Structure formats: structure tokens, C-alpha cells
Amino acid sequence: MIIIAGPCVIENDEILEEIAESLKPIAKNPQIDFYFKASFDKANRTSLESFRGPGIERGLESLANIKKKFGYKLLTDIHETYQVKLAAQVVDILQIPAFLCRQTDLIVEAAKSRAIVNIKKGQFMNPKDMQYSVLKAIKTRGGTEASYEQSQKYKITLTERGSSFGYGNLVVDMRSLVIMRKFAPVIFDATHAVQMPGGADGKSDGDSKFAPILARAASAVGIDGLFAEVHTNPKNALSDGPNMLMPEVLNELIKELLQITNFIQKEQKCN
């Protein structure tokens, strides 16, 4: 199982290393393909006054230090085409943010790199239409069709993070996991799925206690991985605090998800 975990944004090196240290038990699990994530810039914050991060140069330096110290593979977001070459020198997965999932130039430029490209489904997107975003990346890498097999071959993944449910709320349609898995490996974003956009007077709100429930449901439906933002002190986090999980909560959750996945695989073999 792919596990992508880490803080929403790089706050400072001390907190980043503290969170990375807390994720060691997960990273060392032989059943897990682990990636540490953190953003160098949150370019889509609700308010101009909100903390965005240290920027690309300082942020990539911090991530490179995490890779050197802990040996983790890395994921970070990119928002503009010029960021691709710089980020791809450090990270293993380039993530296309949900609001940019149809941004052709960004997807194509990311696909020109050697990194895995993870495209987050926009809250406004029909899951079936995500095949066209996948196809942009696959064709750039020499493929011909949006299929699960070609997405695996050309290292393209999709992430489900919920759909807009009126104003200030999201809902997860579990059917989207099945639909999108026809043309790409699917990762479920358990923490952004419980976000309440703009629900806290110029900031996003959320309720992290529902994240494990949704993650267990997604695992039962069938997913290739889990995305979860983690912080050792979510209440004081500078971005997405209400959605993030404590490391120990994620650790216990992953044990449950592996049990669910193993059970389903055994049942499929028996049938």
C-alpha cells in the first residue's frame, strides 16, 4: 500500500523533522511504500494573510534535508510550470493540486520529468472526466490510452479528496474510487476529504475525527494508497490544522487498513 503522509506546509525545519521522526514506524513497515509530503508553498490559501510556506528554494532545501536524514521518498505540490525542474531534482512525486487538475501546461511539464505525477481530482470534477487529465500525462510520456496498466507503466496516479457539497462542505462519493481506478491507481486523501473550505472566517475548517472512518470505507471499496496530512500539534498548525491527524492515530489506522486490504485480497483469491 502506498502511504503519503506529512504536514500540510513546511512551517520550519524543527517541526518538519519532528513530524518526519514520528512517521518512522510507518516508513519502516515492509507492507508500505512510504512517501513523506510537505508543501513549500500553499498558493491557494483562502486569505492573503494566511501562511503560505517558505517558498520553493528554501522549501526544497528543507525537503532535501529530510531525504538525507531519514531516507524518505518525497512528494510536494507544484503550481507553475517553472517549478517542475527544480522540484523534480529533489522529490519523487510531483503533485498537481486539485484546483489545477485540468491545467494542461502544468500536467504536461510535470510529465516531462522523471517523477511520478499524482493528480488530485478537483472538488468540481466528474470522476470519469479525470481520464482526460491522466491522458495528458500518459501521451506526454509516450503512451496511447488512459488505462490502469498504462498509468502504472508511465507512473501516473490519481487522488480522490471529495466533491463540493454545497458551500463550505465536501462529501466523498465512493463510486469515484471505482470509476477512476479503471484508468489509474487511486490514492484516497482522508484528511482533505473532511475539510470545510472557508468554514472558519477566511480559513478552511474541518473535522479530523471522520478521516479514519472514510479511510476504512475507501479501503473496503478498493484503493492503491492513502494520503493523510499529519502534525504533532494540529491545533497550532499553520495550515489545515482541523483536518490533520496525530501520527499515532495514523499508525493505528494503517494497521486497520492493511487488515482490510489483506482480507479483501484473500476473498478475491478464494472466489
User: Sign (positive/negative) of CA torsion 121, 123, 124, 127?
Assistant: positive
Query: Is residue 9 over pLDDT 70?
Result: yes
| Mean pLDDT confidence for 201-226 | 90
- Is 80 exceeded by the pLDDT of residue 269? no
Tell me what percent of the residues of the chain surpass a pLDDT of 70.
97
Instruction: Assess whether pLDDT exceeds 80 at residue 17.
Output: yes
pLDDT digit string, tens, across residues 18-40? 999 999 999 999 999 999 999 99
* Average pLDDT, rounded, for the chain: 94
Mean pLDDT over 98-119 rounds to 98
How far apart (Å, rounded) are the C-alpha atoms in residues 69 and 35?
Answer: 14
Nearest-angstrom CA–CA distance, 235 and 219: 27
Cell numbers for 35: 512517501
Domain carrying residue 139: 2-270
- Check pLDDT > 80 for residue 183: yes
Dihedral sign of CA atoms 142, 63, 244, 205 in order: negative
- Give the CATH number for residue 213: 3.20.20.70
DSSP string, 93-149: EEEE-GGGTT-HHHHHHHHTSSSEEEEEPPTT--GGGHHHHHHHHHHHTT--S--HH
Q: For residue 259, name the pLDDT band (cuts at 50, 70, 90).
A: very high
Distance, CA of 131 to CA of 124 (rounded, Å):
15
Per the structure, the count of domains in the chain is 1
Q: With beta carbons less than 8 A apart as the criterion, state whether 11 and 233 touch.
A: no
161 vs 50: which has the higher pLDDT = 161
**Which pLDDT belongs to residue 202?**
64
Q: For the ranges 39-48, 95-104, 141-150, 230-239, which has the lowest average pLDDT?
A: 39-48
Over residues 96-112, the mean pLDDT reads 98
What is the spatial distance between Cα 127 and Cα 122, in angstroms, rounded to a whole number?
A: 9
Residue 53, phi-psi category: left (phi > 0), alpha (psi -120 to 50), beta (remainder): left
Give the separation between CA 153 and CA 147, rounded to whole angstroms: 10
Query: How many other β-carbons are positioned within 10 Å of the β-carbon of residue 270?
Result: 6
Residues 238 and 50: their CA atoms lie apart, in Å, by 8
**pLDDT value of residue 50:** 82
Residue 203: band (very low, low, confident or very high) from pLDDT cuts 50, 70, 90: low
User: How large a percentage of the chain has pLDDT more than 90?
Assistant: 85
pLDDT at 200 over 80: no
Ranges assigned E (strand) in 115-263 = 116-120, 156-160, 163-164, 170-171, 186-189, 195-196, 205-206, 225-229
